[in-house]
Amino acid sequence: MQSWLFIRRAIVASSFCMALAQHASATGVEPLKDVQADPAPCLAAAGADDDDKVVELCTDLIDNENTAKADRVKALIARGDAYARKDMVDRAISDYDSVLGLDPTLADIFNARGELWRKKGDRPRALADFGAAIKLNPDHAAARANYKSMALELERLGALMAVAGKPSFNCAKARRAVEKVICANPELADLDREIFAANARAVREAETPRAGRALQREQDEFIARRNAEFGRPGYDLQKAMKQRLQQLNGVEAR
């Protein structure tokens, strides 16, 4: 009796398995087998530069647990590039972070992420990414150019910080009231230094020596007028200095 029940249960189980197999065959579904995600739609959208489609289709591929690692990397790069073109910088950086988490050997992605950090104003991170790209690929022309320009920019900023709040003249020797006020006000001090530098460039780049001397006379007249009018009712030193800087920048733009 027990032997018969065992045989009966075996027959029922076998019939159930056969029924599942027949159902799968009839519907074309293989429930016990994972189907690898198809990267073609995502990559086709990327090739067509259709950013909205890229975001939609590549997101589906990225979120699919059956996506192969190599295809997920490609999808993340495509979506990150699309976000960058759409000026969605934080999302683009996030995708590039994920890419480099999966494959930290991609110099192009370090360079691309560095450019986005630079766009956000995070210069140290930008420089680090450009440096990482060069370390991976010393011949990466874009990364080398970016690294050089970023390093020069940081150097200039360092130089500016060293003179921030300091005018073009020596405050220890300031005797005029207007000079003492400029020395005591960092914003006015920066304006004075910028005016001095802009005038020097304008004179240096003048088409003829005569034109350069004329420009210098204008600057001397501005200083004399500033010294004479400071302290008088209605005289706005900051406004006068800003107007002079704008005038000099206009001269340089010609």
**pLDDT tens digit string along 41-64?**
999 988 998 999 999 999 999 999
* Mean pLDDT calculated for residue range 154-165: 69
Query: pLDDT category, 36, cuts 50, 70, 90?
Result: confident
43-47, 74-78, 149-153: the lowest-pLDDT one: 149-153
* Domains defined along the chain, listed by start: 38-103 (1.25.40), 105-162 (1.25.40), 171-253 (no CATH)
pLDDT of 243 strictly over 80: yes
pLDDT of 8 strictly over 50: no
**pLDDT tens digit string along 175-233?**
999 999 999 999 999 899 889 888 888 888 889 989 989 999 999 999 999 999 999 99
Helical pair 141-163 and 107-120, crossing angle rounded to 10 deg? 30
Dihedral sign (CA 122, 123, 128, 130): positive
